[in-house]
Structure 1
């Protein structure tokens, strides 16, 4: 039986060739102990030779690391595990090398790599102890080697190497160009044959049950085998799910296909979150010696039965783009996912679980794994299976012109095949996407004028990638890009079809511009804000700490990011008076922008069937579009998205010059009830009201036009519309922006009471109108968190916040802990 053992080490890290401006103090401290999996940066950090690049402006001290040549070394012990010593073959398996690596065994070069996204296998010729060296050339090398003309044409270093693009810096991430053995290394010992590739496709098809009206599960398994030189005349058996099905592989054959049908009257279907349960089943693929029955290798999976398609149908508004799971349309609400750390080997199971919990509790059902990052870990997709997230998986191309060299075409095909094979069995995997914003760049960023007739990457998106998906996983859905309209002949960001990215609001016009669009599916949109106060101050130690102090500006990577933050705030509030007000204002404006956009998009249901926010998470402490910062603290924007993603949403929207109550039901059951809409003075007086009844079908919306007496205020500065709806959170609509509203100064009564479990309940009662009441728990303690934010109260109402991680609260809760919108007005 094939045995797997982790390569034990110890490993050491050496410097072969220092980059320009190398730190002499670091050089004097080398070599150092190395961690595998790991990177050069984190080994130097662990050895105390560099300061944490996430803090202050330490990043600026590290560029030489990415321009150096590094070497990892270890000696492998002689085989000792059962089955190792007498195995016919022993291989060194490297799951991930970042990126330009040369692997030598006992001084003999055995492998050269140039792709971070592939795994590699090196046969070990001897069972004796072997010295292994892995040398990493600078990832900048391919770009630096270009002549000036090529560098001007293909100006992204990431486009010339198959490596995580955001390593070279992004508008939310630092430039930390890594090298290292970033995924596990192990020893595999085997005899006769092994499973070199196992393709598992699991789906549900209509036609199951006694009457043919239900669903049946189908499992298709394809394997590629590697045989030892002495085993070509052996017959082998591939068995699926114990004794459910098997096939004999004749001598010398190296491939086999097994199809298993699971005829269940009502198949135990896997559903996305909010649509049903996520049953998973153990699937075992075994390779056996046909003559002796001896097990040779096995591959274990957990799978789920489901049908996923993307429905595209022409209509009066263009063409739809909607996920359909097990025959039901699903409104996709979720987040873009970036690497959770600039050094991905540091991301643990618990880290992934925490971030997915953030997404789940925000009512999300889809995550887009963005193309400038990684094909994520097996653990990530397994947790998505368990939690019911649909996964939109980009191939690793982003925001760049990619040359179509023959070597890169081959690398991309091999990379795509390996990752499609690895991920195709996950029920969560819903769509493969060719690239991030490369079609948009071709249309809008002057690329076609710069390149003319030169190849720029289109062949990957229209030929190589769809061909691999069709060959390996023929029932999977492939889409050539995000954004993409469905054909290169139509503008890539056409709002009437396909998927779009909406960045005009952030970049130029303010978030109100979201209301001008009627997109079919939005796969990127967002608004920036700072991280939690404690996250910011733990990372930046400027004195004084100001919006434009050096460390704060260094942790703002967007072009003109600070200017755009200020410009986006200006229509609503005056310039903040101090750093505390600036921080609260920018966090509040991020939350407001996301609420505005999401409620508008959802109010178009079923014309719009998807809203994927940019972004869920951060990779380091930074001003960004994330709703959860790098310390795992939920920004106010997270609470805004949770409310806006509620399965049943009530929102007041403009319709044909009037105001309307729009009810959105993304569930699969009818939503019926009554509502009352009131025009209320900020002093609490009811000025007009309208009762309504409603019945909203599954995955649908209903628009109820309001009486003119509600839509036309008597005093826009002192009135608000309030809708109380059965089964949904209260909705508000204001007639003026904050700086024009006559907010009363709230008189808040605050009581803090310890409760079971060591938490504290903070109850706030107001005798005046108060908007966006928020308790910033991180200001109470590093581990503190709160369950609610952005609460708006009418006079005489109360709200209770449950605070965890603080013990007993002492003193008065006031600014900057407890904030509201009127705090920002003089």
Structure 2
């Protein structure tokens, strides 16, 4: 087989829609893979859609049509030669032509297309044309034909197989991209090609790594190919095997057994050995002495491991426990959205940085959410290398989806292609039928609106499980998230916290984050709290037209806040804890801090309930543009305070204080492979360090275990809750517990002394607490947008010290580095103006 990439020589012009006069009839150079937005941006014809209020100015693109063209001359084909035009991905509704002849049509961003163009391979110069129609208008037309179905947003994104969040989400822009978004090429081949290779990889009880390489071939149908015997050879490690496809056969399975197979483990549980699996397709002629002819080859890396999902009923409900190589794993996860709304700009290096940030935050799983895309090979490769587990949604989200054609056929085609494509990756451990669709049917008023119309249940309960059972039986499948498994009693609500997976969105939408601790879900696959992006990202991307300082009520800021009543929810979330600062810089710090605290509060709770609660997947790791959102890492790749909260909360060893059965206990969480044994030192003291009571408690907590230690009354019960703190320390792990909210505490508003000194690669900042200092943080991006600090949200009892390392190539003002607004604590919010009835606090309250 030979392949010719068709990535050069393309041009682009508008063909339909409300195109601005300055663009009408204009032709620009097009980058392939690429999108209309990126090409127009590169040509200087549109403003950056991520900046300021430009998203609104570009809404005309939703209803525009576009034409990509390039010259193409196909050399004459031999009598036995196939010539295929291959598009790995088109976004989305397209007609493909050679000159005026229609080659094929597409309406699915999530699958590839192959067109036979052998009859055009005659040496004649031609023009390859890709006409892209408005995906929105296509969806509206199908909606008119099939009948409207409920969806979370106004656009009918559930009527076209396109990235759902392309139409806007409560954290994403409404851009509705179009383009040739994946590679395109011409493939020339003879006799047969490898149409699909699906390696199903397991480990047996004797330690043999088992590979069943399922191969499907396509015969050319030319020159006697149907009468050719084909051989498939496979090789991994030092093991080789083959299978013969007799005349007329197009499938085969090659079995390999690797003794003493090295096990692939999730990060934190072991190593991630990866081995090359090679598959070669050969033709064998009638002359048995002649050497076989190599026709096609395929190579991927695989890892040997087993994966199970335990959903058995127990005394609490229905479990949801992921097991890898027989070991139960507490899932420390985050939801993953496309890392750039303009997908073709995402590089492997960018993916690696983001996954490394996930690992740096002590995460072991990323959930590829159903409103995005099946991610690139780069994403799964990087997760394979880092040991980051992948939970993969099928691409349905927050809507009712018609089950009629053409959508059923398209969904089946994309499911089959992507399940087969992703089988080599050991990081992929779970297939999920979609996001919040089962829940939506029950609770979001769909039933009356549907009036008996199809809504997607059969995708979740019939199509997807059948595809997984046929093509990838080595991995578990679940109907949706949230969902209650079959083991649950009949009629159990899909979001019942006692059964299967649970999404916790009452917190954020309606109740205070302290309500996280009202339930102990079996597995929480979505929960989160909003906060704005870092200061440097805001200053770069969100600016008032008149250059005035930014305020949270400015239209440009609100355009980058997509959640319904998002700022109102942020303020209501702040009010009982920190108060609502009037100054925007203070509000920015307070909302970021409150976001981090809310999520930490939930994670500490969930981890304390292991093994009843078996996982927590925060919404969300990343952003796709500069926006106020639930992300831990903003779209400029800067880590928000939430990232540090995840790093602390998901550490292997954690201490936290809880109410359990009417008394306070210390949860000693040990997710390390070693026994954690020692003596917990407990003390109750005034904020200034004056001792009030002390106790000690020997503990011995096994690997991957949690112990709950009752706290002695003398340290667990405060005399003056406004002035006292409980400190628990075991080895180098510390927990600090307070009996009131910050608003009601007598916190010193200036509790630390700090000194910055130059060091290799940046600066060392030493901080000493004169009084209890809550959540000491250096917002170093305020001085240098590229600066990074190693830690944040560090709470220091009186007398304690911490050292922060700031990595930067810039020369920073050392005094500015240790003063507001760079050095912040929760305490200093007691000295700022607050909105509403809260007082202006300058000194600790009496």
Q: Find the counterpart in structure 2 of residue 212 from structure 1.
A: none
Q: Find the counterpart in structure 1 of residue 808 from structure 2.
A: 805
Q: Find the counterpart in structure 2 of residue 682 from structure 1.
A: 687
The yes-or-no answer on 1:766 pairing with 2:769 is yes
Q: Find the counterpart in structure 1 of residue 351 from structure 2.
A: 352
- SS of the equivalent of 1:608 reads coil
Q: Find the counterpart in structure 2 of residue 553 from structure 1.
A: 558
User: What stretches of structure 2 of length at least 5 have no aligned partner?
Assistant: 286-290, 831-840, 842-846
Question: For residues 806 and 593 of structure 1, what CA distance do their matches in structure 2 show?
Answer: 33
Q: Find the counterpart in structure 1 of residue 444 from structure 2.
A: 445
1:797–1:17 Cα change, 3 Å? same
Question: For residues 454 and 156 of structure 1, what CA distance do their matches in structure 2 show?
Answer: 19
| Alpha-carbon offset, residue 749 of structure 1 | 3.0
Q: 1:94 aligns with which of 87, 94, 114?
A: 87
| Alpha-carbon offset, residue 78 of structure 1 | 4.5
| Alpha-carbon offset, residue 127 of structure 1 | 4.8
* 8 A contact 1:9–1:76 mirrored in 2: no
The yes-or-no answer on 1:220 pairing with 2:212 is yes
Q: Find the counterpart in structure 2 of residue 580 from structure 1.
A: 585
Question: For residues 539 and 682 of structure 2, what CA distance do their matches in structure 1 show?
Answer: 43
- SS of the equivalent of 1:514 reads helix
Residues 133-144 of structure 1: matches in 2 within 5 Å? Answer: 133-144=129-140
Q: Find the counterpart in structure 2 of residue 341 from structure 1.
A: 340
1:283–1:66 Cα change, 3 Å? same
* 8 A contact 2:765–2:805 mirrored in 1: yes
The yes-or-no answer on 1:270 pairing with 2:270 is no
Q: Deviations over 1:288-316 (max 9, x none)?
A: 11233121101101000000001122211
Question: For residues 687 and 26 of structure 1, what CA distance do their matches in structure 2 show?
Answer: 74
* 8 A contact 1:8–1:76 mirrored in 2: no
1:122–1:383 Cα change, 3 Å? same
Q: Find the counterpart in structure 2 of residue 301 from structure 1.
A: 300
Question: For residues 636 and 740 of structure 2, what CA distance do their matches in structure 1 show?
Answer: 36
CA RMSD of aligned residues (A): 1.7
* 8 A contact 1:760–1:807 mirrored in 2: no
Residues 266-415 of structure 1: matches in 2 within 5 Å? Answer: 267-291=261-285, 292-415=291-414
- SS of the equivalent of 2:815 reads coil
Q: Deviations over 1:150-204 (max 9, x none)?
A: 3365665111011100001000001011111011112212111100111111111
Question: For residues 74 and 93 of structure 2, what CA distance do their matches in structure 1 show?
Answer: 28
* 8 A contact 2:201–2:474 mirrored in 1: no
Q: Deviations over 1:108-158 (max 9, x none)?
A: 101111110000112222052432101111101233224499336566511
Q: Find the counterpart in structure 1 of residue 240 from structure 2.
A: 244
- SS of the equivalent of 1:376 reads coil
The yes-or-no answer on 1:596 pairing with 2:595 is no
- SS of the equivalent of 2:600 reads helix
* 8 A contact 1:760–1:808 mirrored in 2: no
| Alpha-carbon offset, residue 585 of structure 1 | 0.4
Question: For residues 465 and 221 of structure 1, what CA distance do their matches in structure 2 show?
Answer: 21
Question: For residues 8 and 143 of structure 1, what CA distance do their matches in structure 2 show?
Answer: 29
Q: Which moved more, 1:682-691 or 1:482-491?
A: 482-491
Question: For residues 336 and 47 of structure 1, what CA distance do their matches in structure 2 show?
Answer: 34
User: What stretches of structure 1 of length at least 5 have no aligned partner?
Assistant: 209-214
| Alpha-carbon offset, residue 602 of structure 1 | 0.4
Question: For residues 676 and 766 of structure 1, what CA distance do their matches in structure 2 show?
Answer: 19
Question: For residues 7 and 378 of structure 2, what CA distance do their matches in structure 1 show?
Answer: 22
The yes-or-no answer on 1:563 pairing with 2:556 is no
Q: Which moved more, 1:329-338 or 1:119-128?
A: 119-128
1:750–1:79 Cα change, 3 Å? farther
Question: For residues 307 and 516 of structure 2, what CA distance do their matches in structure 1 show?
Answer: 29
The yes-or-no answer on 1:53 pairing with 2:49 is yes
Q: Deviations over 1:398-437 (max 9, x none)?
A: 0001011122111111110000000011100100000100
TM-score, normalized by length of structure 1?
Answer: 0.96
The yes-or-no answer on 1:24 pairing with 2:24 is no
Question: For residues 461 and 745 of structure 1, what CA distance do their matches in structure 2 show?
Answer: 54
| Alpha-carbon offset, residue 820 of structure 1 | 0.6
Question: For residues 581 and 113 of structure 1, what CA distance do their matches in structure 2 show?
Answer: 51
Question: For residues 749 and 87 of structure 1, what CA distance do their matches in structure 2 show?
Answer: 80
* 8 A contact 1:672–1:695 mirrored in 2: yes
Q: Deviations over 1:241-270 (max 9, x none)?
A: 077100111123211111112232xx3100
* 8 A contact 1:87–1:189 mirrored in 2: no
* 8 A contact 2:778–2:824 mirrored in 1: yes
Q: 1:738 aligns with which of 723, 739, 742?
A: 742
Q: Deviations over 1:576-612 (max 9, x none)?
A: 0301101000000001001100000100111000000
- SS of the equivalent of 2:706 reads strand
Question: For residues 708 and 746 of structure 1, what CA distance do their matches in structure 2 show?
Answer: 31
Residues 33-182 of structure 1: matches in 2 within 5 Å? Answer: 33-78=29-74, 88-125=81-118, 126-128=121-123, 129-145=125-141, 146-147=143-144, 150-151=147-148, 156-182=155-181
* 8 A contact 2:149–2:400 mirrored in 1: no
Q: 2:673 aligns with which of 651, 658, 668?
A: 668
Q: Deviations over 1:691-715 (max 9, x none)?
A: 1111112322110101111121010
TM-score, normalized by length of structure 2?
Answer: 0.93
* 8 A contact 1:392–1:433 mirrored in 2: yes
Q: Find the counterpart in structure 2 of residue 211 from structure 1.
A: none
Number of residue-to-residue matches in the alignment: 808
The yes-or-no answer on 1:515 pairing with 2:511 is no
- SS of the equivalent of 1:44 reads helix
Q: Find the counterpart in structure 2 of residue 494 from structure 1.
A: 496
The yes-or-no answer on 1:233 pairing with 2:227 is yes
| Alpha-carbon offset, residue 747 of structure 1 | 5.1
| Alpha-carbon offset, residue 323 of structure 1 | 0.6
1:822–1:293 Cα change, 3 Å? same
Q: Which moved more, 1:411-420 or 1:148-157?
A: 148-157
Q: 1:653 aligns with which of 650, 658, 677?
A: 658
* 8 A contact 1:606–1:699 mirrored in 2: no
- SS of the equivalent of 1:812 reads helix
1:406–1:511 Cα change, 3 Å? same
Question: For residues 471 and 794 of structure 1, what CA distance do their matches in structure 2 show?
Answer: 58
Q: Find the counterpart in structure 1 of residue 836 from structure 2.
A: none
Q: Deviations over 1:501-525 (max 9, x none)?
A: 0010100001011010110000000
* 8 A contact 2:623–2:635 mirrored in 1: yes
Q: Find the counterpart in structure 1 of residue 3 from structure 2.
A: 4
| Alpha-carbon offset, residue 278 of structure 1 | 0.3
